Amino acid sequence: MRPLSSLAWRSLVSRPLRAALTLLAVALGVALLVAVLVASATLDASLERAALQLVGRADLEVRSFGARGFLDASLRQIAAAPEVALAAPAVRKRVFYRHGDHQGFVELIGLDPPGARQLSGYTMGEGVFLPDESLHSVMVLATWARARGLQAGDYLELMSYQGLQPFQIVGLLDDAGLGETGYGQVVYVSLRAAQALFNLGNRAERVAVQLRPGATPADLEARLRDTLPQDFQVVPAAERTRTLRESAAALQRSLRVFGLLPLLVGAFFVLNSFLLSIVERVRELALLRIAGATPRQIVRLVLAEALLIGILGSVAGTALGVVLAVGLVRLLEVTGELRLLAWQVPPAVLVVGPAAGTLATLLASLPAALRAAQVPPLEGLRPAGPRGSLGLARPPLRWAAAGLAAVALLLAASLLLPAWRGLAAAALLLLFASTLALTSALLMAMGHFLQRLGGRLPAVAALSARNLERNRQRAAITLGALVVSFALTVGVGGLAASATAIGRERAEALFAGAYAVISPVAQPAAIAADFAGLPEVGQVSPIRRLQALRDREIVDVVALEPAVYAAQPARGPAARAWRQALATLAQARAGVLVPQRLAAAWGVRPGQRISLRATDRTIELVVVGVVSPVFPSDDDRGAAVISWATLEAWTGEDDWHYLNVLPAPGADGRFEQRLSEVAALYGLQAVSTDQIAGAIQRSLGRVLGLVQAMLCVGVIIAALAILNTMLLNVYDRRREIGLLRATGMLPRQVAALVLVEAGSLGLLAALVGSALGLCLGAITLRLAESPELPAPYVFPSGALLAVGAAGLLLVPATCVYPALRAARLNIVQALGHER
């Protein structure tokens, strides 16, 4: 094996540019994979630390329902239970804050300082923990404080029931748990201060509990069921940490899937590079065979070259990936998807990255190694040897045609039979395979098409068109990676545009009109009447959120005026379905709209009855519709919807959290500004559906931007593959280029010949990739569609323009070097070149 290793090394050194390009492709693929794995591990570590800080030393949390909370008697019963070693009550409320030019809403958490000090997992960054009896002391997170120029000893104003009051910051906490802090927007006060100054009464909403040795959450829950006179829920610490981890699971899966793409595209590059290398080395391989090398030894020689490239590229890519991970994690922080609480580079990633890169390189080079072993010794010694004739066996066109026919049948079945919708995924995979099998025929068709234009094309373009028909296998393999990259770019672009449109419809579905007033806490009906009395306001309609119990399961419920919603025009199919469901709810007595996932979990259908309990009252409701979730919930299953009349009959309350505001006819363009000014006087926030839709679009854009960045790396690697192919094409055609120069072709015309050929490849890749991408987006959206959630496909014009620009500009730009190399060929040396 040692002589073969020496030959492998010399072969790589003799072709430094191709070896460098192949190393770069492997390194980029491994780098992005390592960056994604490190970012995912950092997210896991941050969530682990957040979970520890969120739960602390508590074993569980006892939560109450409704505005009543746990009164003093209930708190004493919980603390006195034999299973309880330590109990720390807490209460929460959204309040308005102001400091200098900074203002907004924060989550106020009232803690029992002695219990919190013993149970919490928070660590002090500066200052001291909350004093036991202080009324005007607060703790905030260090990062939140620094962003607003605050430090220990400074004051900020909080909206108490007596108006804005100053509170002194006595301590800065290290970043706390993600689930509790709302990414830093939290202020801690003592429980006594929360109850006395923020109109929270003599109550607490939840109690963190540390159990005695041997006690279990089930034991405590059973005891409290017998003693507490109100509804509650016991939430083990493990459940809280599991929910926190699930919040980031979808993001991690997406990053890992798309993080593999550049490595797969790099594998296409390696396959192409080794096939081209074997074409160049036909004479060398033939001499080795004559000298006694067996086919098995030839295979080992090529694999040894691949092993060297895989190891070197993977090691370099791993180092680069760790650097890229820093930027990726920081970007996730900026987008709000991650708060960096712990940096983590697992040793396993430093092994997995190089191993994956090396293995992908070996597997990609294996077909080329097998083809090298089949080089006939005598045929390879001919002066005009079979250069350009080696490659992978082309699948018969009838296979591709059969595949496309099967795609049509699978799609038809998935469209006509909803139960067979999963066939669309199989159709998508088969569509990719069939299209890639057609690339060779498409190259010939494009060459014929360009030649048919005849005199309309310059001579250089006509020559480039004919060149497309030569070495079609080589070009087809090169095109494969670029087609896949372009297809995914257009597909993701279409999904992003469609998701944005659906998000806008959802934003419009949240409110009956174009404007709404949002309150952090329940507001009395009198304030709604004040807004209704404004000169340019035509109508107001309240919305209230509450939590209820179905058996022992928490259910989020939203109450609204369904008739007001149903009377407003709908702008899309999803909005129309929502308006129709609300019209049905408006006609029903004690009806409820149940989100799809809740209905599936409960096994209920329209016409059936369900029982819900809140504020110590139980109500029987009739399911009048199963709808897609419009209002979010804590468990991501969506909130059930009832009418405002049902809420008042059930709870006797008329407080609201959101207020639909419909302008009167003739309201001018300054209505939104005046509404915001009035809302600010009450410490509330006025928003429009355009603002909500914009926020959804920005959130989608930030996450999908990461995916698009990964796809761009794949496009760059695929463009480098075309550079590799064009270099070999120039090498193959040295004699032909010399003849063209000798007959009068100028150097700039030779360069144009190469660039036009590269541009033709880029154009073909853009056309095929765009068509595949449109199918990818439409089929994927079809898989997610439901009768309650129509998912119209939005044409991704921006992504198509980007792909077209990449095909016509980026691909030729990467081939400037081979074009210059062709233009500078010496005529005499080129004519003496052996084909």
pLDDT reading at 246 higher than 80: no
Q: What is the mean pLDDT of residues 520-527?
A: 79
Q: How far apart are CA 611 and CA 316, in angstroms?
A: 62
- Mean pLDDT over residues 193-202, rounded? 85
**Is the CB of residue 630 less than 8 Å from the CB of residue 638?**
yes
Residue 624's pLDDT is 93
Instruction: List Cβ neighbours of 79 (8 Å cut-off, separation of 6 or more).
Output: 87, 207
pLDDT of residue 700: 62
Cα–Cα dist 99/155, whole Å: 8
The length of the chain in residues reads 835
Pairing of strands 102-111, 186-190: parallel
- Percentage of the chain modeled with pLDDT above 90: 8
pLDDT of residue 232: 83
Q: What is the pLDDT at residue 180?
A: 46
pLDDT band at 294 (very low <50, low <70, confident <90, very high): confident
Give the least confident one: 115-119, 289-293, 465-469.
465-469
Strand partners, 625: 593
Higher per-residue confidence, 103 vs 417: 103
In whole angstroms, give the CA distance from residue 635 to residue 633.
5
Please compute the mean of the pLDDT values over residues 651-669 and round it to a whole number.
Answer: 84
Which tokens sit at 555? 């259910």
Residue 71, pLDDT score: 85
- End-to-end C-alpha distance for the chain, whole angstroms: 32
For residue 624, which of 642, 646, 600 has the smallest C-alpha distance?
642
List, in sequence order, every residue forming a beta bridge with 549; answer none if it has no partner: 554, 613
Q: d(Cα 317, Cα 24) in Å, to the nearest integer? A: 8
- The mean per-residue pLDDT over the stretch 190-194 comes to 89
In the predicted model, what is the mean pLDDT of residues 99-114?
85
With 60 as the cut, is the pLDDT of residue 31 above it?
yes
AA identity, residue 590: A
Q: How far apart are CA 394 and CA 405, in angstroms?
A: 19
- How do residues 585-601 score in pLDDT, each as one tens digit? 999 888 999 998 888 88
Which amino acid appears at position 655 of this protein?
D
pLDDT of residue 348: 84
Mean pLDDT computed over 138-156: 88
Helix, strand, or coil here: 833?
A: coil
pLDDT band at 154 (very low <50, low <70, confident <90, very high): very high
Taking all residues of the chain, what is their mean pLDDT, rounded to a whole number? 78
Given pLDDT bands bounded at 50, 70 and 90, which one contains residue 249?
A: low
**pLDDT tens figures, 328-366:** 777 666 655 556 666 778 888 888 888 988 998 888 888
| Mean pLDDT for the stretch of residues 621-637 | 83
Half-sphere exposure (Cβ direction) of 588: Cα atoms closer than 13 Å: 24
pLDDT at 559 over 90: yes
Could you write out the DSSP letters of every residue in 192-222?
HHHHHHTT--SEESEEEEEEPTT--HHHHHH
Q: Report the distance separating Cα 84 and Cα 118, nearest Å.
A: 14
For residue 5, the model assigns a pLDDT of 57
For residues 114-119, give the mean pLDDT: 85
**CA distance linking residue 248 with residue 177, whole number of Å:** 14
Burial class (CB in 10 A: 0-12, 13-18, 19+), 816: middle
What pLDDT band is residue 189 in, cutting at 50, 70 and 90?
A: very high
pLDDT in tens, 200-209: 878 888 898 9
Between 557 and 707, name the one with better pLDDT. 557
What's the pLDDT score for residue 835? 47
Best CA proximity match to 595, nearest among 631, 559, 552, 561: 631
Q: Where are the beta strands (DSSP E) in 410-514?
A: none
- pLDDT tens by residue, 218-231: 889 888 888 887 77
Residues facing 517 on adjacent strands: 659, 686
More confident residue, 698 or 326: 326
Which residue, 309, 297, 440, 313, is CA-closest to 369? Answer: 297
- 70-89 pLDDT, tens digit each: 888 888 889 899 999 999 89
pLDDT band at 385 (very low <50, low <70, confident <90, very high): very low
* Residues 772-792, mean pLDDT to the nearest whole number: 66
Q: What is the distance between the alpha carbons of residues 340 and 337, in angstroms, rounded to a whole number?
A: 10
User: Which percentage of the chain shows pLDDT scores above 70?
Assistant: 77
pLDDT surpasses 60 at 235? yes
What pLDDT was estimated at residue 258? 65
* Confidence check: pLDDT of 168 > 90: yes
What count of other Cβ atoms lies within 10 Å of the Cβ of residue 264? 17
Residue 541's alpha-carbon distances to 529, 555, 563, in angstroms, are: 10, 23, 10
Is residue 182's pLDDT more than 60?
no
Residue 170 confidence (pLDDT) above 70: yes
Q: Which parts of 302-350 are beta strand (E)?
A: none
Q: What is the pLDDT of residue 474?
A: 67
Residue 510: how many CA atoms within 13 Å on its side-chain side? Answer: 25
Encoded amino acid at 217, one letter:
P
* Bridge partners for 156 per DSSP: 167
Going by pLDDT thresholds of 50, 70 and 90, the confidence category of residue 390 is very low
CA distances in angstroms from 783 to 83, 489, 497, listed in the order given: 49, 19, 16
Residue 610 reports pLDDT greater than 80? yes
pTM for this one?
Answer: 0.65
Which range, of 139-148, 317-326, 517-526, averages the lowest pLDDT?
Answer: 517-526
pLDDT at res. 1: 43
SS (H, E, C) 605-637: CCCCEEEEEECCEEEEEEEEEEECCCCCCCCCC
The answer to whether residues 87 and 78 touch, using CB atoms and an 8 Å cutoff, is yes
User: Smallest Cα–Cα separation from 540: which of 505, 515, 509?
Assistant: 515
d(CA 490, CA 801): 9
Gyration radius of the chain's alpha carbons: 34
Q: Does residue 56 register a pLDDT over 80? A: no
With tokens 């007033």, the residue in question is: 517
Contacts of 678 (CB under 8 A, 6+ apart): 531, 534, 686
At 178 the pLDDT is: 39
603-615 mean pLDDT = 89
